[in-house]
Amino acid sequence: MTYDRLVCANCAAPVSEGRCPVCRASRERLQQQSGLTGLLAQVTPAALIALLVALVAVGLLWERVA
């Protein structure tokens, strides 16, 4: 889950706004954790399916050549 959808239990505002110290700390922690995870979260299911189809096609072509 991304921090832009979270609501702070301390001030009841979106964490992405960072209104209170709790929001700011949570936002900072979530931004640090979203390295590779954030990149993978941006990949759409359609892109994953297209990648899978491309890999299967390459595998089939490799079988014909070998």
- pTM beyond cutoff 0.85: no
Burial label, 14 (beta-carbon count in 10 A; 0-12, 13-18, 19+): middle
Instruction: Say which DSSP state 17 is in.
Output: G
Is-contact 26 37, C-beta < 8 A? Answer: no
38's enclosing H/E stretch is helix 36-41
Model pLDDT for residues 4-58, shown as the tens digit of each residue: 678 888 898 888 888 899 988 888 888 777 665 666 667 788 999 999 999 999 9
The domains of the chain are located at 3-65
